[in-house]
Amino acid sequence: MITRSKLVEELRKYQIGSQSKWAALLIFSPKPQIKNRKDVVVALIFALFFCFIIISSYMSLYFKCFRLAAIVICVAILLPTYLRFSRQRKLARKRDGRYSLPLSM
């Protein structure tokens, strides 16, 4: 028989399991949550790409290529914002999918 204490225990286990060790990489993840290794690898690739963009902007400023530096900085700003909007879009689709279930369920 399912009791309240068992439900509380299951919820606690779920909450502990859902807390991510990779919270810092969530900025660079296109998905709302990092659940498996594939999500970690994708987030690491985006993070490394972001670091490469920042380093290349410093290099272009060092060599006094100001237009190139401005373009690279704009790309560096757009990357995390694009990833954030893609996460919000996926959450909205997921939310809409939940509300489209029939009432008999």
40 found inside a domain: yes
Indicate if the pLDDT at residue 25 is higher than 90.
no
CA distance 30 to 52: 18
46 found inside a domain: yes
User: Which of the residue ranges 1-5, 6-10, 39-43, 52-56 has the most confident prediction, judged by mean pLDDT?
Assistant: 52-56
Give the distance from CA 88 to its chain's centroid.
Answer: 10
104 found inside a domain: no
Helix (H, G, I), strand (E, B) or coil at 11: helix
Q: Which domain holds residue 43?
A: 35-97
Q: Which helix (H) or strand (E) holds 6?
A: helix 4-18
Q: Say whether pTM exceeds 0.85.
A: no
103 found inside a domain: no
> In Å, what is the CA distance from 37 to each residue of 34, 48, 52, 105?
8, 16, 22, 33
5 found inside a domain: no
13 found inside a domain: no
Give the number of domains in the chain. 1
Query: Model confidence at 72, in pLDDT bands (50, 70, 90)?
Result: very high
Query: Model confidence at 71, in pLDDT bands (50, 70, 90)?
Result: very high
8 found inside a domain: no
